[in-house]
Amino acid sequence: MRIEDINIREVLTKDLQKTVEVIIKTRKGVSHFIVPVNKNGIYRIRSLPVEDVIKKFLEIKRHFVNQTFDDIEEVDKFLHTIDISVDFREIGGNLAFAISSAFLKAFAKWDGIGVHKYLSDNREIPVPLCAITNKEKTQTDFKEYLLYPVQQKIFPKSIMKLTRACSGLKFDKNMTNEKVLRTLASVTTENSLQLGINFGASDIWNDRRYTYSTGENLTPQEQLLLVQDIAKSYPVGYIEEPFHEDEFVLSAALTHRMPTRLVVGNELYSNNFERFKRGIELKATSAINISPTQMGTISDVMNMVGEAKKNNITTVVTGEVDDNLISNLAVGLKFDYIKLGMDSVSVNRMNELIRIENKI
């Protein structure tokens, strides 16, 4: 595929933050991708400010114009050659992912197929994990509460089942952790759903204890017992981030004690391949939450998913992308679950998954 031109422009995200869009032109048409704004962290790929991203792009643009690339792996390998740092600190992980994603869409358009089809011939749609409410809408300490179907035959039925279950639910600032859990548990049995909790424990960790709004200050061992008790008292099948981001040992203990639940690493791994390999060695979790936009390139996402599959680790995809790329990656890379919300962006993703399922 020969690149006739590649450009960048400053645009806005859905919540009106400045970001960039990369546009690629070939003789088969124009493809573009808007990268979301990612927060930096100790273990994460580095994102650069918009002004720096545009400057870096203009420095490397010449390496792409009038050049021919055979596949996405070649493009991503070239990006890693341009920036040899482990976290893309030179050109920015946000720029790297924007270029990689725009190329992915261009390759699919060049071949006249969908992005999911370009990645694989997978015919399975991931199970939806729907975030129903969170601590910003209630008086709770846990980051978010989710519902998902016990089994999935076809994706639209799963979505309708979740929509029906949530239609009568109401949440307010007076609701405690226990009240939210009871409310969600009340709709699980009749709708064949399970409950998920993203504890977001790093947010309440003060380097010694887990501090709750109720005044409780739990030691790591007490936090472990609390998580176990909640999972046994309610129909909880999905447990995300029950401990702070460096707690591999207790996460492994929880995974061992609750083999029928999904213990999910998110901040624990921070989309960092080396941390994930450490988690595999320790058997720290039974699942991983992957945010593609924080991985650097599409090939990096593919490698992470492949490593998870090789080690029988369940995969969950999430991300703040403003287009349908996440839905296509979810199918094309054979993710087991896709995390969604109950907002307009998630509805767009749901509809894209329905369209993909109809095609395949």
pLDDT, tens digit (0-9, with 9 covering 90-100), for 79-115: 999 999 999 999 999 999 999 999 999 999 999 999 9
Show the CA angle centred on residue 13, arms to residues 1 and 297, nearest 5°: 40
Residue 279 and residue 269: Cα distance in Å, rounded? 8
Q: Is 127-359 in the same CATH topology as 5-112?
A: no
What mean pLDDT, rounded, does the chain reach? 94
pLDDT at 297: 97
- Split at pLDDT 50, 70, 90, the class of 322 is low
- Split at pLDDT 50, 70, 90, the class of 16 is confident
Residue boundaries of the structural domains of the chain = 5-112, 127-359
Report, at the CATH architecture level, how domain 127-359 is classified. Alpha-Beta Barrel (3.20)
Whole-structure pTM value: 0.95
Mean pLDDT of 166-181: 86
Strand order through the sheet with 29-34:
5-12, 18-26, 29-34
Mean pLDDT of 286-311: 96
pLDDT at 217: 95
223-254 residue pLDDT tens = 999 999 999 999 999 999 999 999 999 999 99
Residue 260 and residue 240: Cα distance in Å, rounded? 14
What is the biggest distance separating any 2 CA atoms in the chain, rounded to whole angstroms? Answer: 63
- Split at pLDDT 50, 70, 90, the class of 130 is very high
Q: Is 237 helix (H, G, I), strand (E, B) or coil?
A: strand
User: DSSP string of 85-150?
Assistant: STT-TTT-HHHHHHHHHHHHHHHHHHHTS-HHHHH----PPPEEEEEEEETTTSS-SSSEEEEEES
- Of the listed ranges 67-76, 177-186, 326-335, the least confidently predicted one is 177-186
Query: Among residues of the chain, what percentage have pLDDT more than 90?
Result: 80
CATH domain 5-112 topology: Enolase-like; domain 1 (3.30.390)
